[in-house]
Every structure is written in C-alpha cells, then in structure tokens.
C-alpha cells in the first residue's frame, strides 16, 4: 500500500468563497490499498466535470461553480490525488502520469459518470484528455482552456540526451526569476525553469507559485490561505513537486508514446470541442491550434481567446469563461 497523507480538515475551515459540501470516493491505489478522492458535487441537470491542474485544487473553480449551477447544470469538481482535500501519496516516486490517469478513471467509473461536458485546464487536460481519448463514449463535449497534451512528437529520439543536458545546465532560480524566464521563454527552455523550481527548490510556497507574474499575478490574503491550505508541510507537497517533471516533453519521457496514441484517437473525436485560451499565458500559448486542427469536433466551433487573463483564467476571467462554457453547451 502507498504511504498516504490526509490534510487535517481544519486547514480548510472558513475559506472565502468555498462553501461547498465535501464528497468523497475511494479508489484503489494499485498496491492493495485505497485512496480517498474529494470532490464538489453541486446542482442538478446536465453534467459539467471541472478538472484543475498543478498546483491548484477544486478551489480554483469556486467562482464558476455557482454560475453553472444557476444556469441549470450539475457540477462535479474533484481534487486530483495529491491536491486539495484528496489523499496525498507521500513519496514522490509514487506520482506517475499513468497512476494519476488510472485513479481518475476509477473515479469516473465509481460515480458512473456519463454524458460529460469536460472543462479542463493545465494538468486537468493532461489527465482529462487521456480519459476522453480512451473513453470517448462517456464525453458529450470538451472545453480545453490553457492546457495541452504534450507528446514530444516531431522531436527526434537522439535529441533526448541534448534536452536532458540542457535541463541539467540551467540554474535553479527563485520564483521571480522563473517568472521572467517563462515570460521570455529564453532559448525555448522557459518551462524547464518551472520544472527545476518545483522539483529542486529547498522550500515551496504554493500560493507564491500560483501568484507569480507570468501566471496571473498577485493573490489576495484569502486566496493565498486557500491555495496553501492543502499543504501544511513539505511532506504533503510531493504532487506539486512531481507533476512538472512528468510532462512528456522529451522523446524518451514516460507516456510520450501513449499521448501520441491519444492524439490519434482524438483525431476521431467528432463531438463538439471548444478551445478557450487566454491571450497572456506563456505556458500553453499556441496549444489551442493543435486541437483546432486535429480534432474533428473542433471544426465549425467559434473558438475564443480570452483577453487579459493569465494561466489561471478561472481566477481572472471566471465570468467570461463560464459564459463561454454555457453558451457552448446550449449551442451544441
């Protein structure tokens, strides 16, 4: 069984704008034990599944959930394993891309979710779009917002060693320095600075990562409290540290070939697909084009670029994003 940690409930007391009743579902951990996944389940009607990324949790969707509910939808927003109120594997090596896909697959199956409109951002896409590719019958529509499905396609295998050497050569920078590198994307390696920061920094404050200039800007004290709540100590942060290293950006990355296969499956997905990316996200800029050009369901859809929103557009453009999703559902 995995060694699991569970953030004390009092850490989540009185969080501003997050009044939702907690729900929990146990799934197998793959080693004979169980992992408890927390999720928000609000409203009634057609289902919208909201998947967050790293290093956030379902709190990220707190502004959108009431809008969706008021419009007549049921919203389920889980915390990925290792985040929010969900259990947290304490060993970094226990966080793999494949395991996280498997845990969320069990979550969907356990709740018998179907006819899903998926709204995914950041790692919510890396995990959620694999679920779409492998279970297309469960999904009715997809909204991709500041996310992608990296697969290292087009990069020759012999480039792997050079890319690893490039990573090894870059400096470990503080948050402000990484923000500058992301904005400049210096030598195409901006994301590597993020990976190194999350993986190797002596200390991490999650709210500082979320609030960096390149990703959206300063958070309020209440927001900082909420984003730091799941992680009372370093032991609880192994998901935050591991996830960037799991992105398949190298030709020899684990899951690169599986993501390439997923793209072949998504190239057959004909149900409606909307891209709603912000205009000022240095992490995923341009990723919407591949969805628009590859997925048949994206053809004929009025895609949207949200102006003035950073990477975490649920914070800075919640109403606009929610309106786009609602209009997309009603029009398809």
The predicted model gives 131-143 an average pLDDT of 98
**Statement: the pTM of the whole predicted model exceeds 0.85:** yes
Residues 181 and 241 reside in one and the same domain = yes
Residues 227 and 288 in one domain: no
For the chain, the average pLDDT equals 96
Burial of 140 (0-12, 13-18, 19+ CB in 10 A): middle
* CATH number, domain with residue 73: 3.40.50.1820
Give the pLDDT of residue 189. 82
* Residues 51 and 144 grouped into a single domain: yes
Query: How would residue 188 be classed by pLDDT, with cut points 50, 70 and 90?
Result: low
Domain extent, residue 237, equals 159-246
Catalytic residue annotation: 122, 281, 311
Q: How far is CA 81 from the centre of its chain?
A: 12
N-to-C CA span, the chain: 44
- Give me the number of domains the chain comprises: 2
Give the C-alpha separation, 51 to 39, whole Å: 10
d(CA 148, CA 263): 11
Q: Can you tell me the mean pLDDT for 87-95?
A: 97
Whether residue 194 sits in one domain with residue 269 = no
Q: What is the pLDDT of residue 1?
A: 81
Considering the domain architecture, whether residues 187 and 141 belong to the same structural domain is answered as: no
pLDDT grade for 186, boundaries at 50, 70 and 90: low
């Amino acid at each position: 069984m995995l060694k699991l940690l569970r953030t004390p409930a009092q850490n989540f007391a009185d969080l501003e704008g997050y009044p939702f009743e907690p729900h929990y579902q146990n799934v197998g951990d793959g080693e004979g034990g169980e992992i408890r996944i927390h999720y928000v389940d609000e409203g009634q009607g057609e289902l919208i599944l909201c998947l967050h990324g790293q290093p956030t949790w379902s709190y990220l969707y707190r502004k959108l959930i009431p809008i969706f509910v008021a419009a007549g939808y049921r919203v389920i927003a889980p915390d990925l394993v290792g985040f929010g109120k969900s259990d947290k594997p304490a060993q970094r090596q226990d966080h793999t891309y494949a395991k996280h896909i498997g845990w969320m697959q069990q979550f969907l199956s356990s709740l018998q979710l179907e006819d899903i409109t998926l709204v995914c951002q950041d790692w919510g896409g890396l995990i959620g779009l694999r679920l779409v590719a492998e279970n297309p019958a469960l999904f009715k529509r997809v909204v991709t917002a500041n996310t992608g499905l990296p697969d290292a396609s087009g990069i020759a295998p012999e480039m792997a060693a050079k890319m690893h050497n490039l990573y090894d050569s870059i400096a470990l920078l503080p948050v402000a320095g990484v923000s500058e590198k992301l904005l400049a994307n210096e030598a195409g390696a901006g994301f590597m600075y993020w990976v190194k920061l999350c993986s190797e920094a002596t200390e991490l404050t999650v709210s500082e990562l979320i609030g960096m200039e390149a990703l959206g800007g300063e958070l309020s004290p209440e927001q900082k409290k909420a984003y730091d709540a799941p992680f009372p100590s370093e032991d609880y942060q192994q998901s935050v540290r591991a996830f960037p290293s799991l992105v398949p950006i190298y030709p020899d990355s684990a899951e690169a070939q599986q993501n390439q296969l997923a793209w072949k499956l998504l190239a057959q997905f004909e149900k409606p697909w909307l891209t709603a990316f912000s205009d000022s996200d240095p992490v995923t800029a341009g990723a919407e084009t591949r969805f628009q050009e590859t997925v048949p369901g994206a053809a004929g859809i009025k895609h949207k670029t949200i102006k003035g929103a950073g990477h975490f557009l649920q914070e800075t453009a919640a109403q606009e994003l929610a309106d786009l999703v609602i209009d997309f559902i009603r029009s398809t």
